[in-house]
Homo-oligomer: A and B are copies of this chain.
């Protein structure tokens, strides 16, 4: 089969996604809004989010500039030893990746800060229009992100067609995501924790009360952390999964003298986007008025459409059924991991109830039981990821006959990742829905829209939280499979480098655990996600302490603020500025640490140490990411469970303890946990990109 028509179809589908996003954008934008107070507060939020994004992008542009220059000079080969053009292409692909990622984030912020206002006002007309507004706002982001990923990868492949450039593009996406996720995560949790701590706990004023100086920063945070950061993260995962699959497909196809595998990657990825478009366009709240059901239904529809479409195309174009099966295995395991996460964070299940009950004995028990259930929650997901990789490998291995069985097996794993991430357009739509309705809730409160409206937005918000736990489990699972595939891509790159350099060493087929250099890498790699999370959380901790001091200052120095006097206006901007500066300052050490330690291990222990290092990083990264995301979601929902009247309800000692759990869980689930995904991907990509250099210069 010819490649070109398929590439054209892929581009066409991504353009369809953009068109659909534009239509959704216009639809949201033309929804009525008339309340001036909401418009004003919405304006603050939009301005704050854009200011943060601009400042963050300025910092990241410097970082990306330095990285691009380094790539230009050193990669894929030293510029004075190799082909200058190759280095220029790679540096350009890298920049291209960062720019696409930045644009996706910007689009997300743009729509989210419109949709929040529209959703709040729509709630006055009932839950169904309000739901649709929030969901379609989120879907703009979903379509834009996946469209950009598919378009970018397809263009890079078509124009350049080799694996270095794909990895360079992917590295651009993920290095930006690393800092965007970390920076956004620190910003959002700084604001959230500080606002809650002073407002809800100390002063006893409601959430989203406009007297609270940090309330706008909190709403800005939802946008920069949960919308822009999350978008960058999933953009990165989607690109990385395609890049890893393509690196192996190119390698396989060159050995087979065919292009069936490359074609398959593009077809399955494009169909995933198509299925998401269909799923999004069918999302409506049914008569039952349960937003959670509506969100889940669209996910299941997308999954079903994807299975049918890929089966049809596989049948019609005579693609390989084993590859199809690998993709479907990935997809289903993603759903199962999501359901398992759901069990541990659902307020109708035992873990949430138990943590709520433990809160009666004080905050220490809230923490202990939450940590325990968080640890327990890792088991099903780890087994799920492990099993899907194993099954995908076993299923696709026979395709390679005797010579290429390992290569096909690894390609199968990468296709499981592609399958799992195929419906990511839908996942992002669900995910971005969360912060939009969360913001809408705040606007309804601040705009005095009345209890009924606040209740509607509350219901929408709670559905957002439930769905978020599921999508986070999904995102971690997808990242897990992707990085396993990237490990395969790394070996493939190393062997190409051995060939190119004409080295007289055997090509690598794997890494032996019993080799002490591999084991050395394994242990060091395992500690990286822990240290990385610690640096982020310490950043939130320090930043929140600064912010709390500022809030205290304002309540002390602005007369009448606490009493709610009309003329007492809090200084929202200073709080936003503190969150911004702190986030930009604190995101650097964590990101740099992950990058620098990879270089150190590579230069000390060479390829073998890096093989162990990546593995250790994946293993402990998945474990900690699952633990932190699930424990955080569990504490959040336990607090809500207590607030809904259990174990004494609001204001009881159990409630105070549950709030402590929620505060601890915030940076767990929204800063450190989800950033680990990106950290693993970045480290894996650096390893692949620098394979030639590590081969040439290392102590051991």
- Residues of A in contact with B (beta carbons under 8 Å apart): 193, 197, 201, 358, 361-365, 367-369, 371-376, 378-379, 382-383, 385-387, 389-390, 393-394, 406, 409-410, 413, 484, 487-488, 491, 509-524, 526-527, 530-531, 533-535, 537-538, 540-541, 544-545, 548, 611-612, 615-616, 619-620, 622-623, 627, 659-660, 663-664, 667
Contacts and interface: CB of A to CB of B under 8 A. Distances in A.
A530 B201 contact: no
Nearest to A540: B368
Contact of A527 (B541, B623, B663): B623
Contacts of A372: 533-535, 537-538, 541
Nearest to A661: B364
A476 to B, nearest CB: 12
A487 B387 CA distance: 23
Given A383-B527, A510-B513, 8 more contacts: A364-B663, A367-B660, A368-B541, A371-B664, A374-B534, A383-B524, A393-B516, A513-B611
B369 A516 contact: no
Contacts of A659: 364
Contacts of A197: 361-362, 364
- A413, A491, A616 — most chain B CB neighbours (10 Å): A616
B620 A623 contact: yes
Contacts of A623: 526-527, 530, 620
B369 A538 contact: yes
Contacts of A527: 378-379, 382-383, 623
B541 A484 contact: no
A169 to B, nearest CB: 25
A265 B548 CA distance: 59
A534 B373 contact: yes
A619 B523 contact: yes
A413 B488 contact: no
Copies per assembly: 2
Contacts of A538: 369, 372-373
Contacts of A616: 619
14 contacts: A358-B541, A362-B660, A364-B660, A367-B664, A375-B530, A382-B523, A390-B519, A390-B520, A510-B515, A511-B514, A513-B612, A523-B619, A526-B619, A530-B627
B660 A526 contact: no
Contacts of A548: 361
A172 to B, nearest CB: 27
Given A531-B376, A534-B376, A520 B387 contact: yes
A481 to B, nearest CB: 11
A531 B375 contact: yes
A539 to B, nearest CB: 9
A-B CB proximity, top 10 nearest: A510-B514, A364-B663, A510-B512, A375-B534, A386-B523, A393-B516, A375-B530, A372-B534, A382-B527, A386-B520
Given A375-B534, A515-B510, A622 B523 contact: yes
A362 B611 contact: no
B513 A667 contact: no
A698 to B, nearest CB: 14
- A409, A513, A611 — most chain B CB neighbours (10 Å): A513
A583 B375 CA distance: 20
Contacts of A622: 523, 526
Contacts of A660: 362-364, 367, 660
A354 to B, nearest CB: 8
A510 B538 CA distance: 39
Nearest to A193: B364
Given A623-B526, A664-B368, A545 B361 contact: yes
Contacts of A541: 358, 365, 368-369, 372
A374 B389 CA distance: 32
A371 B533 CA distance: 10
A672 to B, nearest CB: 9
Contacts of A530: 375-376, 378-379, 623, 627
A514 B409 CA distance: 10
Nearest to A490: B514
Contact of A514 (B387, B488, B663): B488
Nearest to A545: B361
A368 to B, nearest CB: 5
A279 to B, nearest CB: 30
Contact of A361 (B368, B390, B544): B544
Nearest to A360: B545
Contact of A382 (B193, B524, B545): B524
A75 to B, nearest CB: 24
Nearest to A593: B379
Nearest to A380: B527
- A373, A379, A389, A413 — most chain B CB neighbours (10 Å): A379
Contact of A526 (B371, B540, B620): B620
Contacts of A667: 368
A389 B516 contact: yes
Nearest to A391: B516
A376 B593 CA distance: 12
- A410, A538, A619, A664 — most chain B CB neighbours (10 Å): A619
A413 B368 contact: no
Contacts of A201: 362
A543 to B, nearest CB: 12
A393 B488 CA distance: 28
A193 B382 CA distance: 32
